[in-house]
């Protein structure tokens, strides 16, 4: 998937008025049917199977909140297939509206900025449920998983659900990540997908339980490990490119601790500095081919990297910086390539400077519990997003000095330490 990019000066972009808020529209049934029809090809290719006791689920005319784990683009096609003809308002990232706002609104989509507290989103979801009588689909993790495990959920979600008093439905996919993991450069592998749909909370549950109790239920439902699931269920990925791009996730060598020398080729990931080498097996297990350190699974390595980042933060030694290309977003007509800058992340948060000093943005560690960062964002490159309030700056490191994975881990851990 690509996005419309326009070359503009930062002065021109800063003069673009922010779009006015628009209330959600009732989802078009015709476009809902079209989505289901267009999804058939991928659904067949992935041999998607649904596990659901429909007698326990709300009927199509009962508005409900649908929460789904987020693994790949097929998630949307799965929802469009299973829930049609239920009217479905979909909470999605605001950059998904670029160049196609009219269509997205007719489908029923609700735009939001990732990892930004927006009161307008709460109002929009409530409006869709209570006034439009439409169900609402949310991906509460906000971003695709890097390592195949769940990303943090917003602490406020439990409180919000407690106030809604609507049924809450959980959609959990098995195989969607394995079929199309983000690190692998949008190359789909031959893996079947199973989808489990279940009622998580009744309206009565929401009324009786407090926010902490609901958050505990959410955490339980959003706890998973796709690599271990793959191994335990003997799901084979036979494509010979299955490890390519994995150095984005496994950016730090556990042997020599270099953070800039991890590489990958076909089924192997290796350190070009010390020569340590690992094979990603067909069932998702890592095997040390050369070198002393070994992790059984990708998430084990990623968890070790998280612990290493936390040590740096606690000792005050953490600092990442890089020159970046900057693309700005302020409206839904296009995103705008505005020039170059320099991004720093340390224990004081983010500092982005660019375009001859015309961009100067500081973000404190407590500004968000997570970070919108992505691999191969709209086929443009690995990206870190900085929100200025008025606009979003998508920063693409150009000199190898900043790993988007490490920066995401650091933002999450720094928030925990400062909160």
Reduced 3-state DSSP string for 26-88:
CCCHHHHHHHHHHHHHHHHHCCCEEEECHHHCCCCCCCCEEEECCCCCHHHHHHHHHHCCCCE
Give me the residues paired with residue 346 across strands.
Answer: 319, 349
Q: Is the dihedral of CA 152, 158, 161, 167 positive or negative?
A: positive
**DSSP H/E element including 403:** none
Q: Give 15-22 contacts, CB < 8 A, sequence gap 24+.
A: 16/330, 16/331, 17/331, 18/330, 18/331, 18/390, 19/331, 19/332, 21/120, 22/105
Contact status, residue 329 vs residue 95, Cβ threshold 8 Å: yes
pLDDT digits (tens, 9 = 90+) for 100-127: 999 999 999 999 998 877 789 999 999 9
Neighbour-count burial of 25, counting CB atoms closer than 10 A to its CB (0-12 exposed, 13-18 middle, 19+ buried)? middle
Angle subtended at Cα 11 by Cα 335 and Cα 367, rounded to the nearest 5 degrees: 65
Q: Residue 271's pLDDT band (boundaries 50, 70, 90)? A: very high
Q: Where are the alpha helices (DSSP H) in 108-152?
A: 119-130
pLDDT digits (tens, 9 = 90+) for 296-327: 999 999 999 999 999 999 999 999 999 999 99
pLDDT at 286: 95
Q: Residue 71's pLDDT band (boundaries 50, 70, 90)? A: confident
Contact status, residue 258 vs residue 276, Cβ threshold 8 Å: no
Mean pLDDT computed over 245-257: 96
Q: 318-418 architecture in CATH? A: Roll (2.30)
pLDDT digits (tens, 9 = 90+) for 6-46: 999 999 999 999 889 999 999 999 999 999 999 999 999 99
Rounded Cα–Cα distance for residues 33 and 80 (Å): 8
Rounded Cα–Cα distance for residues 101 and 87 (Å): 19
Hey, is 335 helix, strand or coil?
Answer: strand
What class, spelled out in words, does domain 22-225 have in CATH? Answer: alpha beta
29-45 and 74-83 are packed helices; what angle lies between their axes, rounded to 10 degrees?
120
Q: CATH 3.40.1130.10 spans which residues of the chain? A: 22-225
Mean pLDDT computed over 146-171: 93
Does 189 score more than 80 pLDDT? yes
pLDDT at 293: 74
* Rounded percentage of the chain residues whose pLDDT exceeds 70: 100
pLDDT digits (tens, 9 = 90+) for 372-399: 999 999 999 999 999 998 899 999 999 8
Does 136 score more than 80 pLDDT? yes
CA dihedral (272, 276, 277, 278) in degrees, to 10, reads -130
Q: Rounded mean pLDDT of the chain?
A: 95
Rounded Cα–Cα distance for residues 282 and 290 (Å): 19
Does 292 score more than 80 pLDDT? no
Residue 72's φ and ψ, nearest 5 degrees, are -165, 180
Rounded Cα–Cα distance for residues 333 and 262 (Å): 38
Q: For the chain, give the longest Cα–Cα distance.
A: 61
Query: What's the token pair of residue 347?
Result: 């224990």
Tabulate helix, strand, coil % of the chain (nearest 5).
35, 25, 40
Listed in sequence order, the residues at least 6 apart from 343 whose beta carbon sits closer than 8 Å to its beta carbon are 321, 322, 324, 350, 351, 352, 384, 386, 395, 397, 402
pLDDT at 295: 93
Mean pLDDT computed over 149-174: 93
Give the length of the chain.
419
Does 54 score more than 80 pLDDT? yes
pLDDT at 142: 83
Does 280 score more than 90 pLDDT? yes
Residue 206's φ and ψ, nearest 5 degrees, are -60, -35
Q: CATH 2.30.29.30 spans which residues of the chain? A: 318-418
This prediction has a pTM of 0.95
Does 186 score more than 90 pLDDT? no
Q: Residue 413's pLDDT band (boundaries 50, 70, 90)? A: very high
């Amino acid at each position: 998937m690509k996005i419309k990019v326009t070359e503009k000066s930062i002065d021109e972009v800063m003069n673009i008025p922010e779009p006015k808020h628009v209330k959600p529209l009732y989802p078009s049934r015709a476009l809902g049917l079209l989505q289901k029809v267009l999804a058939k090809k991928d659904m067949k290719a992935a041999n998607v199977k649904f596990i659901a006791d429909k007698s326990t689920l709300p009927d199509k005319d009962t508005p409900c909140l649908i929460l789904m784990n987020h693994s790949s683009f097929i998630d949307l096609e799965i929802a469009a297939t299973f829930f049609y003809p239920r009217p479905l308002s979909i909470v999605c990232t605001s950059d998904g509206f670029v160049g196609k706002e009219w269509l997205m609104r007719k489908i029923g989509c609700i735009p939001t900025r990732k990892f930004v507290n927006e009161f307008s989103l709460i109002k929009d979801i409530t409006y869709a449920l209570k006034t439009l009588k439409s169900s609402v689909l949310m991906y509460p993790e906000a971003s695709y998983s890097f390592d195949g495990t769940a990303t943090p959920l917003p602490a406020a979600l439990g409180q919000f659900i407690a106030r809604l008093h609507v049924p809450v439905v959980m959609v959990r996919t098995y195989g969607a990540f394995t079929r199309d993991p983000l690190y692998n450069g949008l190359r789909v592998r031959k893996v079947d997908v199973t989808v489990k749909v279940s009622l998580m909370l009744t309206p009565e549950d929401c009324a009786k339980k407090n926010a902490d109790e609901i958050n505990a239920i959410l955490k339980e439902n959003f706890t998973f490990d796709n690599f271990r699931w793959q191994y335990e269920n003997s799901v084979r990925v036979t494509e010979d490119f299955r490890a390519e791009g994995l150095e984005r996730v496994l950016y730090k060598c556990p042997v020599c601790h270099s953070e800039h020398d991890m590489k990958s080729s076909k089924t192997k990931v290796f350190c070009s500095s010390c020569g340590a080498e690992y094979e990603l097996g067909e069932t998702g297990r890592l095997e040390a081919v050369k070198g002393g350190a070994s992790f059984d699974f990708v998430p084990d390595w990623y968890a070790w990297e998280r612990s290493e980042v936390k040590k740096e933060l606690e000792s005050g030694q953490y600092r990442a910086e890089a020159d970046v290309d900057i693309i700005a977003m302020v409206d839904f007509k296009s995103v705008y390539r505005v020039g170059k800058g320099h991004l720093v992340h340390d224990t004081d948060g983010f500092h982005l400077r660019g375009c001859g000093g015309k961009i100067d943005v500081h973000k404190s560690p407590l500004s968000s519990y997570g970070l919108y960062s992505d691999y191969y964002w709209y086929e443009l490159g690995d990206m870190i997003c900085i929100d200025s309030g008025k606009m979003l700056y998508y920063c693409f490191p150009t000199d190898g000095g900043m790993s988007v994975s490490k920066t995401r881990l650091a933002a999450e851990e720094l928030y925990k330490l400062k909160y």
